[in-house]
Amino acid sequence: MVTVAGHALTFTDCAEIGQGGPEACTLLVDGRPLARWRVDPHALEYRGGILIPVRKSGFLTNGYALALVDPVGLSVTLVSKIFGYMRLVSVEGDAVTFNPNAYGNDRRVITVRAR
């Protein structure tokens, strides 16, 4: 369990995506499940909400998109395009730094606009 934006985040049912790959987990916010979404277990506070990479998989897309979670209503707003992987590193203002690889120290920055 970790605390982000004053809310207890618990990651359960974590499973590797492929052999030795990153994990995707079920997220509980203050004991309440974030329905439908599997997430990477790296979250950051952003304007009272929670930024977290959510797993997106479909016929033509596969990876993670950055989501802004309202910790009270548990609503999810996608705020980025899909990347192969996202491990959040830091947030300064609207700039979110993330690692696009499961391992290593590569960095990318995207700009988030709260909606």
Residue 103: domain span? 2-111
pTM: predicted TM-score of the whole model, two decimal places:
0.91
Question: For residues 59 and 112, what is the distance between their CA atoms, to the nearest angstrom?
Answer: 26
Q: pLDDT category, 81, cuts 50, 70, 90?
A: very high
For 18-59, the pLDDT digits (tens) are 777 788 999 999 999 999 999 999 999 999 999 999 999 888
Count of domains for the chain = 1
What local confidence, expressed as pLDDT, does residue 106 receive?
95
Report the mean per-residue pLDDT for the chain. Answer: 92
Starting at the earlier edge strand, list the strands of the sheet with 2-4.
Answer: 2-4, 7-16, 23-29, 32-33
115 pLDDT more than 70: no
Instruction: Give start and end residues of each alpha helix (H) in the chain.
Output: none
